[in-house]
Amino acid sequence: MSRNTDAVWTFVEAKQEEAIGLSDRVWATPELAYAETKSAAEHTAFLHAQGFRVTEQLAGIPTAMMGEAGEGGPVIAILGEFDALPGLSNEAGVAEHRPMPGDGNGHACGHNLLGAGSLLAATAVKDWLAANGLPGRVRYYGCPAEEGGAAKGFMTRAGLFDDVDIAISWHPSGFAAVNEPLSLANTRIDFTFHGRASHAAASPHLGRSALDAVELMSVGVNYLREHVPQESRIHYAYLDAGGVAPNVVQAKAKVRYLIRAADVEDLNRLVARVRKIADGAALMTETRVETRVVSAVSNLLGNRPLEELMQAALDRLGPPPFDAADHARAAEFQATLGEEEISSAYRRIGLPRAESPLADRIPALDAPRVPMVGSTDVGDVSWKVPTVQARGATHAVGTPLHSWQATAQGTLPHAHKGMVHVAKVMASTAVDALTRPEVIAAAKAEHHGKTGGRYVCPLPEDATPPIGMSLAV
């Protein structure tokens, strides 16, 4: 165990209560993508209070900010998030589905913990640099709208990571581990069909149904599913079905498609096929279709030198210091889950099934895992700079993200302990990188070998952050 790592853990512990308070305040005011005004204000105030040099409204996004500390040397970015999800509120600490009154938003993906934990790690690195009088800069990037808004994609496209040497992030989980660098590229596209209204009984021949076009598009895409790469996914939701009067031919209807693929090249090919189906539906119904790309993200790129560095920090630190009371509370939530959810969580992380409701082991970096693949806009950062992510053990093993159980555990002591634990892991990774320039060089060399120094943003040039737009579907 290195002396430097010991020191940075001490700096984490010194500010942990402030970070826990930040996390709980953000949990109490859950806000959706691009509308995180209170949460962003809390993060900005914390940055100012800790002495960071703060820049707000990054990439023209009102709720994106960056705090920097230190001078010269390598630039270490630590990424945080703070957006919530719709329809997943729950009373804190209650092991039953008990939604809160109000708008129904809830931190079911743990982003209240994610942002506060990353900010705690950045603060510890800042304090460590100052105490040791060493060159180096640490930046905390407050990134809104991870849930469907692709803010990091817009931020990357704006050049905000161009001078960063490495990036570090994490995500709440049932385990403490290095996160497997696997995700799907995706895009969200709104297809709006325009037809002609008419009386559905007296003059149906005069109408051109936009709703028919949407439904025909759905039929076409459903047949397409048989003929796409197995990693690909296509989801959709009706945003506007054209009204509630069945005796009126619907003149306008809108559907949102979420299209995923293994990488951006496969994504672009699949999107082109979906667009052709939309054009065909418009042709069949004599309607007109307009499209708007709402968001798009790249797939994650792994970086073995940084993953090994983070694994070494995890191995030195060991599992989070959960006590008997933490296990008892976590057991209450695990009792609401099925055996399939619990067992599959162990398979996904590469550990044998255990009876403990909280993570008590650190899985090996190369443990065989059964992946569960989603998407994240961290992928865009990973194409621009070498990036590594941790998992933090913040809730009972088996707890699904995007569930009321995840929301309800977000302010419990075991969530706080898991957040502080992963902040130590991230801070150690940053400090070890700052003191070992050969690791940063190796990380950059591997990254260049994978990308050739080229990042192609999946967002169209004319795409803008969908501020004020519903991303709930």
Closest-CA residue to 120 (of 97, 138, 108, 135): 138
* β partners of residue 406: none
Q: How much is the pLDDT for 470?
A: 82
Question: Could you give the count of Cα atoms lying within 13 Å of 113 in the half-sphere of its Cβ?
Answer: 32
Is the C-alpha dihedral spanning 17, 21, 27, 33 positive or negative? negative
Q: Supply the pTM of this predicted model.
A: 0.95
Report the residue count for the chain.
Answer: 473
Distance, CA of 305 to CA of 445 (rounded, Å): 10
Q: How much is the pLDDT for 371?
A: 78
Distance, CA of 73 to CA of 137 (rounded, Å): 6
- 32 phi and psi angles, rounded to 5 deg: -85, 175
Contact present, 131 and 16 (Cβ < 8 Å): no
Contact present, 236 and 189 (Cβ < 8 Å): no
Q: How much is the pLDDT for 473?
A: 62
Which residue ranges form the domains of the chain, and what is each CATH number? 3-183+300-451 (3.40.630.10), 185-297 (3.30.70.360)
Q: How much is the pLDDT for 4?
A: 57
Question: Could you give the count of Cα atoms lying within 13 Å of 404 in the half-sphere of its Cβ?
Answer: 14
Q: What is the DSSP letter of 263?
A: S
- Amino acid sitting at position 429: T
Q: How much is the pLDDT for 471?
A: 82
Contact present, 386 and 446 (Cβ < 8 Å): yes
What is the b/e burial string over 249-259, where b = at least 16 CB atoms within 10 angstroms of the residue's CB? bbbbbbbbbbb
**473 residues of the chain, pLDDT tens digit each:** 344 567 999 999 999 999 999 999 999 999 999 999 999 999 999 999 999 999 999 999 999 999 999 999 999 999 999 999 999 999 999 999 999 998 899 999 999 999 999 999 999 999 999 999 999 999 999 999 999 999 999 999 999 999 999 999 999 999 999 999 999 999 999 999 999 999 999 999 999 999 999 999 999 999 999 999 999 999 999 999 999 999 999 999 999 999 999 999 999 999 999 999 999 999 999 999 999 999 999 999 999 999 999 999 999 999 999 999 999 999 999 999 999 999 999 999 999 999 999 999 999 999 998 877 899 999 999 999 999 999 999 999 999 999 999 999 999 999 999 999 999 999 999 999 999 999 999 999 999 999 999 999 999 999 999 998 888 66
In the numeric block, the tokens 């005011």 are attached to: 29
* β partners of residue 78: 140, 168
Give the three-state DSSP class for 72.
coil
Q: What is the DSSP letter of 80?
A: E
Contact present, 381 and 191 (Cβ < 8 Å): no
Task: Quote the tokens at residue 439.
Answer: 């690791």
Distance, CA of 441 to CA of 359 (rounded, Å): 33
- 306 phi and psi angles, rounded to 5 deg: -75, -35
Distance, CA of 173 to CA of 396 (rounded, Å): 8
- CA angle, residues 142, 148, 154, in degrees to nearest 5: 55
Q: How far, CA to CA in Å, does 223 sit from each of 48, 193, 268, 277, 319?
A: 54, 20, 19, 10, 47
Give every CB contact of residue 439 below 8 A, 6+ residues apart in sequence: 305, 306, 309, 432, 433
